Amino acid sequence: HLHARRTRSRGHDVHTMATASSNTPRRQPVRAAGTRLLVAMLVSAVCGVRSSSDSEPLTVDKVLNEMNITGKGCVVYMAQNGKHTSYGAASRGTQKDMLIRSVDLLFKNYNDREKEDVLIFHTGDFNAMDISDVAKGRPEVYFKLLEEGGEWWSLPANIPEASKAKWELFKRNVRKPFFSEGYRHMIMWYSVRIWKYLERAGYKWVMRMDDDSYLHSEVKYNIFKHMQQQRFLYGFRQIACETSTAPGFMEMVLQHVKNNQIEPTFLYDHCSPRTAAGCHTKGATAALTKKCETRKVGLRGKGEKGWSHLGYYNNFFVTYIPFWRTQEVQGLLRHIEASKGMYVKRWNDLIIQTIAVQTFMPKKHVHWFNDFTYEHASVNNKGTLVYGGLAPGKGTGRNATAAKAFRSRYGRMKVKVFNNKVREGASKVLWYE
């Protein structure tokens, strides 16, 4: 009852599907999306709201006006079938073992009821048996092959092969982490390319999970409908303080902000002083990294200046895809891509998504989920927790058994920056342990 089929389209994507064949990114939803789009256009004509299919550029304001039009959502994974080149520990099993556990928990605590499409992207290292092991006959699971060298998984035109000699953390060294070319493609995927792919496939909403993301308690509502009804454009579960990947990043962003006379929505909330002059990465030393991991984070301490390096830990996020296709966001993403920093500097998708949200999205449209227990932990080869952790949910969303097991295994619940408490003042925003 389960088969794998690969469909090749030169210059486009390659898919391996667990339940149905396809010659497009998502054949059935595309037809459904066409019907929804026609309905949306008719509604727009009657109500006087312009559709994003108009010839006029898509803007953030237009996206906010169109959020009353419900669209289809999907859950996405980027999976590997083997040892992760940058993270991972044998004590947790293979990447496939972790993916199976993640997908099983996703269905148990959410998708057995909601029946959302689950798209598992990979680069060709899952065979038919692997697909069967993960999908377990669930028709909502689709494996999608991103062909190496193709439209979605390749070096950008402005990154020559010869430049690899200058890439940071690209040489294998036992004393330093190693981040492969594939890892940098992943950054490009979750920063730039995924939005176009999912838009083509007819989706409006997306929720990301990693193969080591675990949903430990039931989510009792439809996440996409909740986002749409509350007019949230971006949702996250945990926070992170990124210092090692960020030198020079904010300066590059501010160049685009200045050149295009952009007034960020709440980016400066995370800078000291709360102006463009306060948004810099100078002084992002080991001392700042230690502060992020051991005590209050958000703004720097008294007398310290610059960007807080605070971001959304985006191994889990939920977002409205049209926001990322607006001319404002696309302009910033093109600027970041032109800088070559995703490949040369390893400026990652966490800080890129964070800055795009904080630059163009009104703060009231950003949502911090805290009503379910979620785990995402990076563990070294010694089995030591080095990043991330488990975030217990509030009320009925708390899984005390999972929390106890995690603490017993790693000696702590999380690297201390990850938390559930936030205090927002009139003049500053601080995030607490």
Tokens 């959302």: give the residue. Answer: 116
In eight-state DSSP terms, residue 395 is G
Q: What are the phi and psi torsion angles at 404 (to 5°)?
A: -65, -40
Direct distance between the N- and C-terminal alpha carbons of the chain, in angstroms, rounded to an integer: 49
Tens digits of residue pLDDT in 52-92? 445 688 999 999 888 766 789 999 999 999 765 555 555 57
How sure is the predictor about 47, in pLDDT bands with cuts at 50, 70 and 90? very low
pLDDT of residue 315: 96
Q: Is the pLDDT of residue 433 over 50?
A: no
Q: What are the phi and psi torsion angles at 112 (to 5°)?
A: -60, -30
Burial zone of 344 (CB within 10 Å; 0-12 exposed, 13-18 middle, 19+ buried): middle
Q: Is the pLDDT of residue 429 over 70?
A: no
Give the Cα separation of 90 and 323 in Å (integer).
39
Tens digits of residue pLDDT in 200-250? 999 999 999 999 999 999 999 999 999 999 999 999 998 887 766 678 899
Tens digits of residue pLDDT in 122-134? 999 999 999 999 9
Give the Cα separation of 405 and 340 in Å (integer).
42
Lowest mean pLDDT among 34-38, 191-195, 251-255, 337-341: 34-38
Sign (positive/negative) of CA torsion 129, 133, 136, 139?
negative
pLDDT of residue 341: 95
Give the Cα separation of 169 and 66 in Å (integer).
42
Buried b (16+ CB within 10 A) or exposed e, 380-414: eeeeebebbbbbbbeeebbbeebbeebeeebeebb
Other CB atoms within a 10 A radius of the CB of residue 291 amount to 20
- Of 129, 11, 134, 118, the C-alpha closest to 74 is 118
The torsion of the CA quartet 359, 184, 291, 426, rounded to 10 degrees, works out to: 10
Sign (positive/negative) of CA torsion 102, 105, 107, 110?
negative
Helix (H, G, I), strand (E, B), or coil: what is residue 267?
helix
Other CB atoms within a 10 A radius of the CB of residue 36 amount to 17
pLDDT of residue 13: 39
Tokens of 35: 């019907």
Give the Cα separation of 106 and 122 in Å (integer).
19
- Of 345, 410, 343, the C-alpha closest to 376 is 410
Give the Cα separation of 399 and 219 in Å (integer).
12
Helix (H, G, I), strand (E, B), or coil: what is residue 47?
helix
Buried b (16+ CB within 10 A) or exposed e, 43-65: ebeeeeeebbeeeeebbbebbbb
Contact 236, 419 (CB under 8 A): no
**Of 335 and 381, which is predicted with more confidence?**
335
How sure is the predictor about 432, in pLDDT bands with cuts at 50, 70 and 90? very low
Tokens of 156: 């950008």
Give the Cα separation of 136 and 108 in Å (integer).
13
Tokens of 290: 């230690």
The secondary structure element, H or E, covering residue 326 is: none
Q: Is the pLDDT of residue 18 over 70?
A: no
Helix (H, G, I), strand (E, B), or coil: what is residue 314?
coil
| Percent of the chain predicted with pLDDT > 70 | 73
- Of 188, 79, 192, the C-alpha closest to 141 is 79
Tell me the angle at which helices 349-360 and 181-188 cross, rounded to the nearest 10 degrees.
20
Give the Cα separation of 199 and 205 in Å (integer).
9
Q: Is the pLDDT of residue 294 over 50?
A: no
pLDDT of residue 34: 44
